[in-house]
Amino acid sequence: MSIVTVILSRAFKAFVTLLAIAVLNFCLLHAAPGDPAVVLAGEAGAADEQMIEQLRERFGLDQPFHVQLGKYVGSVLTLDLGYSFRQGAPVAQLIAERLPATLLLTLTAFVISLVLGIAFGVAASARVGKASDSLLTTLALLFYATPLYWAALMAVLIFSVWLGWLPGFGYETVGAGYTGLARAFDIAKHLVLPALTLGLFFMAVYMRMTRASMLEVSQLDFVKTAKAKGLSGPAIRRRHILRNAILPVVTLAGLQAGQLVGGAVLTETVFAWPGIGRLMFESLAARDYNTILGVFLVSAAMVILFNIVTDIVYRLVDPRIGAKA
Amino acid sequence: MWKRFSSNIGAMLGVVLLLAVIAVAIFAPIIFSHTPWQMVQRPFLTPFTMDGLPLGTDTLGRDVASQLAYGARVSLLVGLVSTLVALLIGVPLGALAGFYGNWVDEGAMRFTEFFQTIPNFALAIVLVAIFEPTLASITIAIAIVSWPPVARLVRAEVMSVRKREFVDAARLAGLSRPRILLTQVLPNTVSPIIVMASLMVATAILLESSLSFLGLGDPNAMSWGYMIGAARTVIRSAWWLSFFPGIAIVLTVLALNLIGEGLNDALNPHLSRKGKA
Amino acid sequence: MSTLSIEHLSIGLPQGADRAFAVEDVSFAIEKGEILCVVGESGSGKSMTANALMGLLPPGVTVKSGRALFESRDILRLPEAEKQALRGARIAMIFQEPMTALNPLMRIGEQIAEVFAAHDRFSQQERRDKALNLVREVGLPDPEKIIRAYPFQLSGGQRQRAMIAMALALEPKLLIADEPTTALDVTTQAQILKLILDLRDRRGMAVMFITHDFGVVAEIADQVIVMREGRVVERGIAAKVLTDPQHDYTRRLLDAIPTGKLPPARAPREVPALEIKGLRKVYRTGGGFFRPVREVRAVDDVSLTVGRGEVLGLVGESGSGKSTLGRTAVRLVTPDGGQVLVGGSDLAALSEEELRKQRHKVQMVFQDPYASLNPRQRIMGALTDGPITKGVPKAQAQARAKELLEIVGLGADAASRFPHEFSGGQRQRIGIARALAMDPELIIADEAVSALDVSIQAQVLDLLRDLRERFELSILFITHDLRVAAQLCDRIAVMKKGKLVEIGTVHDIFLNPQQEYTRQLLAAVPGAGWAKAGAA
């Protein structure tokens, strides 16, 4: 199966999944207690009678269920995610404005957690049973048990409030008027704490996986073959164990991407990072369901994209898959 | 089995920690004469400055220690019940998919995959937001986002056990398929399910606290996540209000993870095939 | 001077193992150009000896005393760096499982060239050329293609050749081969054995060949040592040990080996217990949106009969469809066509519900003693589930179970225990008792003794022979091993690629095979020549 057909079939699957999520959203709106129009308009008093009437008409709430469903899904397919009465703007526009910040944050956190996780995992497995291994695994266990948002808060407290090393709030220094490189540097400084605290938990996950996988692979027969060839320990780890051990970690990382995107809601909330997670948090208090569901759909789309990318990477690394199918 | 588990220092530490948390949760009303909602002193009382209020008071002058104790109840309850519900969904689905294969498997796995693709925390937020935050809706929401890994695990285990020859032998003995699944196959998948369940309780506690942190907790139940969320804006002046509940979460989750790992090592000692060599 | 000389080697096991020493006071020597076979059953310490020489002992296992002189140095006491320099260059090793002994993510050529890289020899281009030559030397087809292939694209025999190429890369003085042919089909095994003999002649290296099979010994050994529980019990020139074993244990091992000495023929059976007519089973793999369907005809229009009280051997290599035939005959697999007639009903045509009521007619004894019993069920349950489902009262079924456990030589108290308390051979006895508990009209034994050590194998075969006489059992005995089939069967059917090649009495098949393939199989049996000499 060529890479093109793989991408095509994955894209098709992604489309079906997104369609299903749109249907799920529709069902949720209808399952919510109360009149969907009222639900959509929000309870915060943003909607008057006339607006609710307009909504009823727009969604055809007086029409049969399947017609309503069709209308809803149709509008989602045309990227019409509805209107946020709280923010006074179309949801799609709100999300589009905030998406780059979230992408920057999650991708940075993903890369940091994967690279560091694998590196520490390899290091721990090479020193299995020794003090440094115990230290690394204990730390991983601790990070694994730490709530994301709490780690973020504590980081703000320590590095921003007490030590004053790094900004603990926002995306860039407001009103500083930086441009070009200076601006990039400013954003990078703001990015450090959010990306690290978001990546910490996942780093722990990948480290534990990598360590376990390395140890498991090192028991396999071909490692003994490599030893019998006269290869040195480091060469065996690098050439034989690592490559085989990393494949399952990459697969898992792809699957975990969903949790990373979910975690961004918490991190962005704590750091006032102007991404879609923060948007979701703001919408929660306002009961702005259109925006909440919109963010939900877009974050699912991000996960699907992550998954497709890891799937393709996997296929490029493992020679067995392409031939088997 | 118990011997292997009890010789694991980490696991025993986990048991002790968890027992302590359980004890605090159970005896909260006895230890504290006031509820966590009662104002007992002036607000922002620093920890360790007044007898009877070791951890100080919060923004409304409520006893932080008492809040922590009652919060343990919510965390443990939601963690346990949501895991049970997730098992009730995941185990049958995974077992049927793995055992019957073909279109049953195909259907069940597409369904599972769909739920696994959706970012689970985001889905939990949406569910709780739409169905109003109550302990029940939070528990159900967590269960709904937690069952897919169970289904996948059970399916994989059932598929591997199903291929073993003793299952063929049971078929030749004339046992019906449901009976083979229940009496021959499933008992052999229990160990990994137990391990996963103990780790899931930990994850569920984290999820619950994250939801409460965002303000999606049951307004009638004091919980650790809510405490941190409420103290977030005053972190500069009253760090302890977010610090202590965080420590409580870390310790509880750590305890459960340690127990889970201990169980894993005790129940799956690198496949009991050693006798074969 | 000997290439390798081991003196008083003792290897200690970690505390808590079932014995203190894996190997105790073992001495032997291998001369240049000589093949020494180290023979023993599992747990005899033969592999540990080899691993100690390579410096590849598992953690916790250590050399306690003794030395191993190789190129006038004691290689057991060398610092790790020097051991590493020795491995792959002066001493090379090949392993039992060719399927798992190669790195799945690395091309064959790279894996061979890596030996040169490990020892810092030659330039990139030279390494590649040499790899190509090695691939050619071990007789792999299309060398240019093979060095670019990944292991999963090669068959088991080809992978073992690639392993050998790797081992030969730096022209070692000593080659250690740890059961290198055990996982292979007989015909492939014969080819690999011949390759090792050729290479020895061409390169004059010494070979330490570990095996459990005296047939293999007869094929290639110059010298033999026999090990048991860590000690050497017998040593000598191969021909002498084979014909005139001194130690009791060696004699028992040799006796246990089905030699091809044919037992006297029994009277042919007229009444059929099982009739298979035109049986077909096709496996389809792949299929879907983008994948083409691949078809494998596992059983292709096979007809045969097993008489009442007869043992029919079904022999073939892996992939011949013999196991599928067996599983189809008990309807664990539903055939695509044909009939399976047992006691008047066609098992192949029954509905799931009717089938369950007829299941007891045909029972099976399985291959893997470690997988064929439910680890969480007591033996009593395993033996009574079937009869009780069939309608036998519980008390009666339990009494019968105990009686059967006595009959298979385990004792009635085995009933209350769990499978993990039994050894492989004992579990196989339980498996036989379980089959008998259903009072079947036919038993299918699928490689029922293949996973067992030779001496245990002999005991289980004895039991089956005994039961055959006592209960007039009809058995379809599936095996890859012609020698085993000869021991027990009245007639033998040979399968190849899903088709029945030849069927006849044991005497016909062995002494007067009609088909070329049967002749090939017979010739490939290790020690065939020696067995014939023995039989004469």
C311 and C229 in a single domain? The answer is: no
ipTM of the complex: 0.87
C414 and C498 in a single domain? The answer is: yes
C120 and C241 in a single domain? The answer is: yes
What domains, with CATH codes, occur in chain B? 2-40+61-267 (1.10.3720.10)
C316 and C232 in a single domain? The answer is: no
**Cα–Cα distance for residue pair C226/C38, rounded to 1 Å:** 6
**Cα–Cα distance for residue pair C477/C489, rounded to 1 Å:** 8
C454 and C516 in a single domain? The answer is: yes
**What is the distance of C-alpha C59 from the center of its chain?**
27
Q: How many CB pairs under 8 A join B and C?
A: 71
| Chain C contact present for B273, CB below 8 A | yes
Residue C139 lies in a domain: yes
| pLDDT of C290 higher than 60 | no
C245 and C379 in a single domain? The answer is: no
DSSP state of B180: I
| pLDDT of C454 higher than 90 | no
**Cα–Cα distance for residue pair C384/B234, rounded to 1 Å:** 70
**Cα–Cα distance for residue pair C423/A304, rounded to 1 Å:** 50
Q: What is the mean pLDDT of chain C?
A: 89
Residue C237 DSSP SS3: strand
DSSP state of C307: E
Best to test chain C binding among B166, B177, B181, B189 (most C CBs inside 10 Å) = B166
Segment C209-216 mean pLDDT: 91
DSSP run (H or E) holding C113: helix C108-118
**Cα–Cα distance for residue pair A4/A315, rounded to 1 Å:** 12
In this complex, which of B166, B174, B184 lies closest to C386 when CB atoms are compared? B174
C230 and C140 in a single domain? The answer is: yes
B126 neighbourhood in chain A, CB within 8 Å:
28, 292-293, 296
Residue C274 lies in a domain: no
Q: Which long-range contacts (CB under 8 A, 24 or more apart) does C299-302 make?
A: C299/C324, C299/C325, C299/C328, C299/C335, C299/C498, C300/C497, C300/C498, C300/C499, C301/C338, C301/C499, C302/C276, C302/C278, C302/C338, C302/C495, C302/C498, C302/C499, C302/C500
Residue C58 lies in a domain: no
Confidence (pLDDT) at B7: 80
Segment B19-47 mean pLDDT: 83
Best to test chain A binding among B110, B112, B126 (most A CBs inside 10 Å) = B126
Sheet strands side by side (includes C272-286)? C293-307, C272-286, C337-342, C345-346
Q: What residue numbers bound the domain in which C440 lies?
A: 307-335+350-535
| pLDDT of C450 higher than 50 | yes
Only one residue has tokens 């037992």, namely C263
C316 and C211 in a single domain? The answer is: no
Angstroms from A99 CA to nearest CA on chain C = 35
DSSP run (H or E) holding B29: helix B9-31
Residue C379 lies in a domain: yes
**What is the distance of C-alpha B144 from the center of its chain?**
13
B254 neighbourhood in chain A, CB within 8 Å:
141-142, 145
**End-of-domain residue from the set C232, C256, C280:** C256
Residue C490 lies in a domain: yes
**Cα–Cα distance for residue pair A120/A204, rounded to 1 Å:** 9
Tens digit of pLDDT for each residue in B97-107? Answer: 999 988 899 99
**Cα–Cα distance for residue pair B25/B73, rounded to 1 Å:** 5
Confidence (pLDDT) at C96: 87
> Which of the other chains make 3 or more beta carbon contacts under 8 angstroms with chain A?
B, C
Tens digit of pLDDT for each residue in B242-262? Answer: 899 999 999 999 999 999 988
| Chain B contact present for C382, CB below 8 A | yes
CA distances from C293 to B56, C154, C289 (A): 71, 21, 10
Tens digit of pLDDT for each residue in B158-197? Answer: 999 998 999 999 999 999 999 999 999 999 999 899 989 9
Cβ proximity of C324 and A44 under 8 Å: no
Residues of chain A with pLDDT under 70: 1-2, 34-48, 57-62, 321-325
| Chain B, nearest residue to A285 by Cα | B215
Angstroms from B86 CA to nearest CA on chain A = 18
Cβ proximity of A203 and A117 under 8 Å: yes
Least confident span in A188-192, C64-68, C282-286, C443-447: C282-286
- Sign of the C-alpha dihedral, residues B237, B241, B247, B249? negative
Tens digit of pLDDT for each residue in C98-154? Answer: 888 999 989 999 999 999 999 988 898 999 999 999 999 888 888 999 999 999 889
- Sign of the C-alpha dihedral, residues A294, A300, A306, A309? negative
In this complex, which of A156, A255, A302 lies closest to B116 when CB atoms are compared? A255
Best to test chain B binding among A15, A106, A150 (most B CBs inside 10 Å) = A150
| pLDDT of C438 higher than 70 | yes
Q: What percent of chain C has pLDDT over 90?
A: 60
Confidence (pLDDT) at C173: 93
DSSP run (H or E) holding C305: strand C293-307
Tens digit of pLDDT for each residue in C230-264? Answer: 999 999 999 899 888 999 889 888 877 665 567 77
DSSP state of A312: H
| Chain A contact present for B233, CB below 8 A | no
| Chain B contact present for C372, CB below 8 A | yes
Helix residue spans in chain A (DSSP H)? 3-31, 36-41, 49-59, 65-77, 91-126, 131-144, 148-155, 180-217, 221-228, 233-236, 243-271, 276-286, 289-317, 319-324
Count the domains in chain C. 2
Residue C286 lies in a domain: no
Residue C322 lies in a domain: yes
Q: What is the CATH number of the domain that holds C328?
A: 3.40.50.300
Confidence (pLDDT) at C291: 59
Residue C215 lies in a domain: yes
Question: Closest Cα to residue C522, out of C509, C535, C506?
Answer: C509
